[in-house]
Amino acid sequence: MDVILLQITSAIYFLATGSFIFHLVVAKDISSRLSLLLVFAGFLIHTAALGVYFFHTGYPAVTHLREALSFYSWLMVGVYLPVQYKYRLTVLGCFIAPLAFLMSLAAFTLGVGGGELPLTLKTYWLPLHVTLAFLGNAFFALAFAVSVMYLLHEYQLKNKKISVLNKHFPSLERLNRLNYVFLIWGFPLMTLGIITGSLWARVHWGEYWSWEPRQISSAITWILYGGLLHGRLTAGWRGKKAAFWTIVGFAVVLGYFLLGDSVFPGRHGGRFE
């Protein structure tokens, strides 16, 4: 049942992607409302899919890549919806909806259901650590989206090019400010994710830090985003420089999330503990 719900979710996110693209072309309020309604409907069904999965397995769907993809896309959309309500930035959905569609599509393509959960993972540390880390990454996804918008908009203005995007993109100043807001939310959440992961490692493995590939990648990402925030606060980094390093940071996050355990296997064993 959860797989069917996830398939429906993916289909709705696909329709939302098309609706957002249509909105870019026609710029009508009705297309904007339809796009947001589709995303919200997809989020509700996605929530039901995760709930059904939890009911059948007794644990949250976060331990395998296929489960983590579904959970991450759900959190990303869940963060986007209140952000949209507050900032009225419909064009942001043109980035979030395709990402959510691709992640949910990959989730049910890979197959949902990780089997019996090992005893060592039957602990409150699992949902606490993963939720905090993924929430941080969800805000980084939003920061990535506004950074891409910034670079596109800056290029068009600099070269005096007129396109349909100019009608929808906010000002460069607003995009720069939103980048900062999303980083300010994402960095503490990621930090808490790393701290809870280290505490769990102490309980599970007997040591806070063991130079696991996933721990190393988290540390690299933390340094990248921490350096970016430090630069923004003390050296006045903004605009293109801030947008570029935000994109680099998210590329590291997404790259290891998708490929890390297959390229650099460790004690996590392909699980997202």
pLDDT digits (tens, 9 = 90+) for 84-122: 999 888 889 999 999 999 999 988 787 545 556 666 666
Residues 127 and 247 in one domain: yes
Domain count, the chain: 2
Question: Are 237 and 263 in a shared domain?
Answer: yes
Q: What is the 3-state secondary structure (H, E, C) of 171-228?
A: CHHHHHHHHHHHHHHHHHHHHHHHHHHHHHHHHHHCCCCCCCHHHHHHHHHHHHHHHH
Express each pLDDT in 81-90 by its tens digit. 999 999 888 8
Token representation of residue 220: 């690299």
Does residue 100 sit in the same domain as residue 125? Answer: no
Kindly state whether residues 235 and 149 are assigned to the same domain.
yes
Residues 249 and 192 in one domain: yes
Whether 205 and 235 share a structural domain: yes
Q: What pLDDT is stored for residue 75 in this prediction?
A: 94
Q: Which structural domain range is residue 223 located in?
A: 121-273
Q: Are residues 56 and 130 in the same domain?
A: no
Range with the poorest average pLDDT among 135-144, 198-207, 216-225: 198-207
Assess whether 243 and 144 both reside in one domain.
Answer: yes
Shared domain check, 60 and 97:
yes
Last residue of a domain, one of 117, 145, 178: 117
Q: What is the mean pLDDT of residues 190-210?
A: 81
When comparing pLDDT for 201 and 171, which is higher? Answer: 171
Name which residue leads in pLDDT, 117 or 14: 14
Mean predicted confidence (pLDDT) in 188-211 = 81
pLDDT at 155 over 90: no
The C-alpha atoms of residue 239 and residue 159 are separated, in whole angstroms, by: 17
Q: What's the confidence (pLDDT) of residue 141? A: 94
Mark whether 148 and 206 lie in a shared domain: yes
Q: How does pLDDT run across 54-76, given as a tens digit for each residue?
A: 777 766 667 677 888 889 999 99
CATH code of residue 109: 1.20.120
Burial 163-192 (b: 16+ CB within 10 A, else e): eeeeebbbebeebbebbbbbbebbbebbbb
Mark whether 153 and 110 lie in a shared domain: no
Is the pLDDT assigned to residue 223 strictly greater than 80? yes
